[in-house]
Structures are given as structure tokens and as C-alpha cells.
Amino acid sequence: MSTPGTHGRVPAPLRGLPDGFERAAIIDPAAIRHNVETIASYVSPAKLMVAVKADGYGHGAVTAARAAVEAGADWIGVAHVTEALALREAGIEVPVLAWLHTSQTDFAEAITQNIDIGISGWELEEVAAAASALQTPAHVHLKIDTGLGRNGCTVAEWPELVARAAEHQDRGLLSVVGIFTHLAVADEPDRRETDEQLEVYQAALKVAEEAGLSVSLRHVANTPAAFSRPDAHFDMVRVGVGVYGQSPFADRTAEDLGLRPAMELRTRVANVKRVPSGQGISYGLTHRVDRPTALALIPLGYGDGVPRIAVHAPVQISGRTYQSVGRVAMDQFVVDLGDPDTEVQVGDEVVLFGGDSGISAADWGRAAQTINYEIITRIGGRVPRLVADSSGPASAAEPGQAKAGRTADAVVGLPGAGSLEEDSP
């Protein structure tokens, strides 16, 4: 057998994992920049808000935000004020909107840090009180629930909300910057519900105008609507999953949309062993091999975000694609190599998705009966994010020691990939 990792096959563009890393999600800011520019070309002249909530859909919020701003994003969007504050601390200075709050949200700090605040109802008085105490007006965006049934003011309560917002604005406590909503089925372009939501939204704008509000930012469209509903673009679009190179459509790939996946998930084979026909695999023995074969143990599991429910999910080992068998466990899953005389060895690199593997997060989504959004976002804290800009050197970080599972500042050289640094997971 050959030495692990040296099978004479063409290596991936990123040349694999650097020494010392057992597993990593490799993030390419150049892909994020490309995707932002691509989407911006679809929606121009509308402004572009890039969502980096949930740690940038698993890619690293600061990494994603910096790349988005470099590519011309006008705004950054997050769910929580705490996420916005972390961006400010990292030096992100463009406008940031946070829209999901609780009774413990620090609205005063949001106002102090010049973070725009989404308002769905109850938050209005809390934000106005914080602004009054600070003697600084809050910048707010009012959200109308046009049919999604989650956050947002109901149609019945909308006239009262906009009237109160106008009163607070007249008192100098608020500046109502925008009015927004969120679409429920834009990823299914033929469904009538999107038209219905836009009709409700237009009516809500008229009510707000009659209450004396004149806003500069009307925003509705998400990633699927950015591509399929130009009538929903208005003044700004809010895009999430597309920025990370994932398609929101079941029948159109990222490549179809001109997008490049920004995450590649890699690890190394932890064990290889030959087994006889009939060997059961993993908990519950839900799978038994029907011939003598060899099994590879992959050291990622549901503790790392790999879905336990995934069945026959694809992986690439040293340039060849195999499928998982048996249940995914907390720390590991098993791949049937098909040949008891396989050349696969302990230490060979494994790609779950991304890079030049030909395997997408959507492939894993189908194997796990879920969506690509969830696959990329759920990758856990035991998997370090290694930032490798494929377009050239990244800016040097502060000196430090890169360690898996920890925030690190060290820049690690990666042949053929510009430079690489570890981001917080």
C-alpha cells in the first residue's frame, strides 16, 4: 500500500488540511465576494444587505461580513443584537440591522453602537425608552407579518404600530428608516402566496405613509426572490444562503445561479479495517454488508453537526466518492470502501462536501431529509474554521497559536491557496 495521502491523484485546489488539523471547515472569502457581486448584479439598483446571522451560516460572522463589505455590500443583517455587537467589536462599521429580540435584549447598547433595530410590536416602547434615557434617537425598521406567521406586526395591529412609531419619531426618539417583511415560499416561484404577501406589503406601506412615515428602505426579497422576483427588490434585498454559494431552489444548482460554495468540510480517515459479509454497522445494526469489504471510519458525527439521520451520504476519499453506511454516531460514521484490498489508509483526507469534490451541501441535505442551509449552519464548535482566500493573500492576523476548536489568530501557510487563518467556530 502507498503512504497515506500520496496516491498520485491531483490534489484539491486548497491542497488539503494543513499539518496539525484533524478536521476543518475551510472557508473561502473569495467565494463570498464573488457571490455578493453576482447577486448584486441581479438586484441593482437595489441595495444589498448580507445576512451573517448564526455565525455567518457557519462560515464565521466576521469573516463573512468582511468579505461581503469588501465586495460592496451596503448593509449587514443579523438576528440578535449580541451578534451585531460582536461585529462592531471586530471593526465592522457599515450599517447593521438586528431583528429578533427578547425581554433581555440590550437596546441601549444597540443604540449606542449605532445598530439599527427591527421592530415587530412590543419592542417599540422598550426602544423608545432606551433612546429617551440616552437622549439619542434609535434607528428602527418596522416589520409587518404579510403571511409567514412568525415575527412581525399583524395586519390588524399595524395601524397602531405605525402611528406610535410616528409619534416617537416626532418626539425625536426614533428615526424610522425602513419597513420590511419576510417571504414564506419564494423558493417555489410558481406559488401564489408570494404575490399575496407583496399585496399585503404594499397595503402596509400605504398605511404607514398615511400615518406620516416616509422611509428610505423598503426591503422584502430574500435570496430566492433576489433571483426570481424582481418586483420584490424595492430599495434593498436581504440575502443569506446565496452569499455562501448555496442555491435556495430545489431545481437549480448553485452553478446554475453563478454562485460558488464558500465552505469545504474536510477530515482524515481514522481507521480502516476489512470485514466479512454480514458485518453490521453502527448503532442499531441498521446496515449489514453483503460481501467482504473494507470500512473506513470518519471522525465526524452529530456532535460536529453531521446529521444523525443521514443515510448513504457521499464522501470523497483521495479523489474517489463513497457512501456512508449505518447510523451516524456522535463522533463518527462509517464508509463502505467496497473492496477489501482498498488502498485507502489511516490519515487519508476525506471531503464531506465542497471544494472540487463534486459533492454539495445539498447532496448531504437530501441524504438527511433536510436543506443545504441546515447542513452548512450546523457544523459545530469542534470543527475549526480555516479561512483560505483563493484569490490571494489575506491580511496578516496577530501572532498566535492555531488550535483546533479554539479561536486563533495565527496565519498558516497553505500551498496554492494564498494564505489561511483560523476563525472562531
CB neighbours (10 Å) of residue 54?
18
- Cα–Cα dist 253/247, whole Å: 6
Per-residue three-class SS string for 170-219: HCCCEEEEEEECCCCCCCCCCCCHHHHHHHHHHHHHHHHHHCCCCCCEEE
Indicate if 53 belongs to the active site. Answer: yes
Among 42, 57, 206, 283, the active-site one is 283
DSSP string of 250-264, one letter each residue: SSS-TTTTT----EE
Among 42, 47, 53, 201, the active-site one is 53
Q: Which three cell numbers stand for residue 132?
A: 429617551
Strand partners for 334 = 297, 325
Indicate if 47 belongs to the active site. Answer: no
ω before 45 within 30° of 0 (cis)?
Answer: yes
Nearest to 16 by CA among 281, 334, 351: 351
- Cα–Cα dist 287/32, whole Å: 39
Strands across the sheet containing 420-423:
271-275, 293-298, 333-336, 320-325, 314-317, 349-353, 263-268, 23-27, 385-388, 420-423, 411-412
Name the residues annotated as catalytic.
Answer: 53, 283
